[in-house]
């Protein structure tokens, strides 16, 4: 299997199949990331699509390193652009979420718990947790993507992880 760097090089020379392989490989990470940041799944998928189209346009500027981190940085910037255009929305309606996804499958419940716990974090903490814990970026990569100082990223991640674990544990007990 070709590495991300090889595929990116092929894509930069105009090979669409190589770029398609990259989309196929990273779509889960990017769609997951945008769903955790955006307000709605449809909006998240729009951001994810724009992310990949931007990546296709700018693939010639990719200079090695983690391709996933490069994509996540683009996704985060696209998310910020979308959010700037939006009006503030009413806070997350926990009840509505429960009704919409009240499935009996244990896996769905687990995902729901995780999503719900994530939504309760303060925004910057949530962003850092999404980038570092969910998307697998290093603290340095998250620093480059967000522009937050390294110490701030580490602190947000540590606090966010503690809060997530506490919430998930509480829900298990309940």
Partner 1 sequence: MQTEEKYDDLTALFAAQDDALHSDAFVDRVMRPIHKRARWRGPLLFGAGGLGVGAAISQMGGLLDAVNGRVASLNLSFSQVQTPALETLSGDTLWAAAILIVVVSCAAIVATERA
List of residues contacting partner 1 (CB under 8 A): 14, 16, 19-20, 23-24, 27-29, 31-32, 35, 45, 48-49, 52-53, 56-57, 59, 107, 110-111, 114, 132-136, 138-139, 154, 157-158, 161, 164-165
Nearest distance, CB of residue 60 and partner 1, angstroms? 9
Nearer to partner 1, 71 or 73 (CB): 71
Which residue from 16, 17, 36 is spatially nearest to 135, judged by alpha carbons?
36
- C-beta separation of 133 from 162 below 8 A: no
Nearer to partner 1, 3 or 61 (CB): 61
How buried is residue 88: exposed, middle or buried, by Cβ count under 10 Å (0-12/13-18/19+)? Answer: exposed
Tokens matching residue 138: 């290093």
Task: Count Cβ atoms below 10 Å from residue 108 Cβ, excluding itself.
Answer: 12
Between 19 and 70, whose beta carbon lies closer to partner 1? Answer: 19
Please, what is the minimum distance in Å from the beta carbon of residue 64 to partner 1?
20
Residue (5 or 114) nearer to partner 1, CB:
114
**Rounded Cα gap, residues 117 and 166, in angstroms:** 9
């Amino acid at each position: 299997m070709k590495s991300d760097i090889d595929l990116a090089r092929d894509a930069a020379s105009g090979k669409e199949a190589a770029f398609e392989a990259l989309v196929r490989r990273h779509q889960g990470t990017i769609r997951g990331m945008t769903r955790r940041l955006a307000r709605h799944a449809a909006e998240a998928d729009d951001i994810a699509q724009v992310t990949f189209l931007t990546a296709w346009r700018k693939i010639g500027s990719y200079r090695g390193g983690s391709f996933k981190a490069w994509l996540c940085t683009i996704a985060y910037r696209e998310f910020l652009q979308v959010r700037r255009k939006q009006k503030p929305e009413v806070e997350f309606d926990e009840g509505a979420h429960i009704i919409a996804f009240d499935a009996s499958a244990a896996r769905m419940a687990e995902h729901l718990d995780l999503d719900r716990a994530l939504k309760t974090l303060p925004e910057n903490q949530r962003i850092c947790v999404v980038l570092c814990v969910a998307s697998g970026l290093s603290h340095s990569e998250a620093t480059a993507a967000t522009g937050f100082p390294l110490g701030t990223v580490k602190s947000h991640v540590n606090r966010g992880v503690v809060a997530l674990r506490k919430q998930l544990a509480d829900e298990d007990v309940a």
